[in-house]
Chains A and B, each alone.
Chain A
């Protein structure tokens, strides 16, 4: 459904744009309907840049992002508007997404204005109530409230409801849980799982491995803009091959296992420009070294 092929993004940096930074380097993966795909990486890994390119807020420097066969970068005008009918994003900070001087449900009115100007008032009210109920909120309790009267989790779920008013097929969820408290974040996670059951695709961008693991079918681990390991979640987390994935897994604080029992592998990270190696069906790993032995495809000098 959504396919990224060799996507790279280079930003110009420094005075007069003389320097360049490769935010995303040659990233390829696919998002299928009814699946949650997690993009996991630390800060600077390019995970949000990829989300922004999928939402067409940024254009790739090279490579293509295609949605159902159409190159997203070529869309404009009506085609782009149609694209946003199917693909929507929700971002990290729910508090700054809303304008504090208007009621929170103004976000619904804006959808109506651009996409459904002909729908009658009572029918629209019904649709909004239905969308709000489908994100497990009580419409009577949240509609007509101002943003400060609602919790972060409620605001975040309203944004998902807003996307559901459209004919949503793919939701890009960029760190939508990280600002929420432990007791409410799980409800938002479960909501994403419900969307998946309904056949939607979710691109879940996060730095938190346990969240990604809980929810996703496919996992893409990013480091410095490039994919180090990707595949089915149970393969990547159950049998991590790349030392970077292992380091991340050993560093997540977990209940029941102490850090002293989880050694961090001494780095064997080796950067090379060769394609990922398919170690088993659907499980791709970038090259690395262990004990001086190189794994992965033969690489050119770095």
Chain B
């Protein structure tokens, strides 16, 4: 079992109190698995990704554990996590477009980065070239400045850098949302290629777009207001979702081929609850068409079929 997250709670400190951005999240990612993590803005998906590698100063680890390959990660301790970053856990950040140092040629920047980990650059040089080929980048990009690359090229370059030390876990946060459709396909497939070539053991792909992770992920996990709503193998989640939120989310997607005239789609009324003082019970209750008395009590996240977990009283 590559990654196991147990009842993870992370809060943001604000002047008005703690924001319960992650409120008891439990899941695991198997070896070789690509997990798609889907949610709306403010659902806590980016917070989850950041918690696994580097918490910013406003984030506080309140409870729960993260175990990677049998070792517990000291996620609340920024200094101690340094031993794991890049080599065991790595991230392709949101807006990776601006993640590279604009004043260095890319090759030099990679050298400095690798050497900061006490690894000789010459020992990874061949591997670096191989991976540039893998994602379809010319080796000449190492002599160029980030400014000279297009968005899709930069995104692929950051992917190559992030995975250079063969991490056990790669977190890819909205890596394609700033790209054009045709580039998006190439970048997403390159990402899956890292797993296929065994360069990255497992991967969490964070996105707001279900149809994107449908293309590359083995399992999909849906987050809502700081908690997991549903998690299942990709085809199961898309064809037979059990949580009302997942069902509504999927039915609200306009598809190529669906026309407003033929089938008018509907959104989900209302908006997610504020996490400053989250309501008790099921957090989707206020927007849920199926809500009943029992929803005042928080539904457990339970397995209802093989690898299919749902947090809803109606699905149990």
| Interface residue A10 (Cβ < 8 Å from any Cβ of B) | no
Does B185 lie within 8 Å of A183, measured CB to CB?
no
> With a CB–CB cut-off of 8 A, which chain B residues contact A11?
none
Known contacts A213-B257, A254-B211, A186 near B40 by CB under 8 Å: no
| Interface residue B98 (Cβ < 8 Å from any Cβ of A) | no
| Interface residue B30 (Cβ < 8 Å from any Cβ of A) | no
Q: Which of B51-110 contact A (CB under 8 A)?
A: none
> With a CB–CB cut-off of 8 A, which chain B residues contact A253?
184-185, 188, 209, 211-212, 214-215
> With a CB–CB cut-off of 8 A, which chain A residues contact B215?
253, 258-259
The distance in angstroms between the C-alpha atoms of A153 and B41, with both chains bound, is 12
Does A43 lie within 8 Å of B255, measured CB to CB?
no
Q: Which of B247-274 contact A (CB under 8 A)?
A: 248-250, 252-260, 264-268, 271
| Interface residue A272 (Cβ < 8 Å from any Cβ of B) | no
| Interface residue B50 (Cβ < 8 Å from any Cβ of A) | no
Does A182 lie within 8 Å of B181, measured CB to CB?
no
Does B40 lie within 8 Å of A181, measured CB to CB?
yes
Does B254 lie within 8 Å of A211, measured CB to CB?
yes
Does B259 lie within 8 Å of A186, measured CB to CB?
no
Please name the residue on chain A nearest to B256 by beta carbon. A210
> With a CB–CB cut-off of 8 A, which chain A residues contact B182?
42, 247-248, 251, 264
Known contacts A190-B264, A210-B256, A214-B260, A255 near B250 by CB under 8 Å: yes
| Interface residue B199 (Cβ < 8 Å from any Cβ of A) | no
B258 to A: closest C-beta gap in Å:
6
User: How many residues on chain B are close to A (CB under 8 Å)?
Assistant: 36
Contact with A along B99-131 (1 / 0, CB 8 A): 000000000000000000000000000000000
The distance in angstroms between the C-alpha atoms of A244 and B172, with both chains bound, is 29
The distance in angstroms between the C-alpha atoms of A233 and B262, with both chains bound, is 13
> With a CB–CB cut-off of 8 A, which chain A residues contact B184?
251, 253
B254 to A: closest C-beta gap in Å:
4
Does B238 lie within 8 Å of A183, measured CB to CB?
no
Which B residues lie at the A interface, using CB under 8 A?
A: 40-41, 151, 180-182, 184-185, 188-189, 208-212, 214-215, 238, 248-250, 252-260, 264-268, 271
> With a CB–CB cut-off of 8 A, which chain A residues contact B266?
186-187, 190
| One of B189, B209, B258, B268 near A214 (C-beta < 8 A) | B258
Please name the residue on chain A nearest to B151 by beta carbon. A43
A–B pairs, 14, beta carbons within 8 Å: A42-B180, A181-B41, A182-B40, A182-B208, A183-B267, A209-B256, A213-B257, A214-B259, A233-B259, A249-B256, A250-B185, A252-B181, A253-B188, A254-B211
The distance in angstroms between the C-alpha atoms of A214 and B268, with both chains bound, is 18
Does B181 lie within 8 Å of A42, measured CB to CB?
yes
User: How many residues on chain A are close to B (CB under 8 Å)?
Assistant: 38
> With a CB–CB cut-off of 8 A, which chain B residues contact A255?
210-211, 214, 238, 250, 253, 255
> With a CB–CB cut-off of 8 A, which chain B residues contact A213?
254, 256-259
| Interface residue A189 (Cβ < 8 Å from any Cβ of B) | yes
Please name the residue on chain B nearest to A177 by beta carbon. B254
Does B40 lie within 8 Å of A183, measured CB to CB?
yes
Does B181 lie within 8 Å of A207, measured CB to CB?
yes
Q: 6 closest Cβ contacts across the A-B interface?
A: A42-B180, A214-B254, A183-B268, A181-B40, A251-B185, A186-B267
Does A248 lie within 8 Å of B181, measured CB to CB?
yes
The distance in angstroms between the C-alpha atoms of A256 and B256, with both chains bound, is 11
Please name the residue on chain A nearest to B177 by beta carbon. A178
> With a CB–CB cut-off of 8 A, which chain A residues contact B208?
181-182
Does B260 lie within 8 Å of A182, measured CB to CB?
no
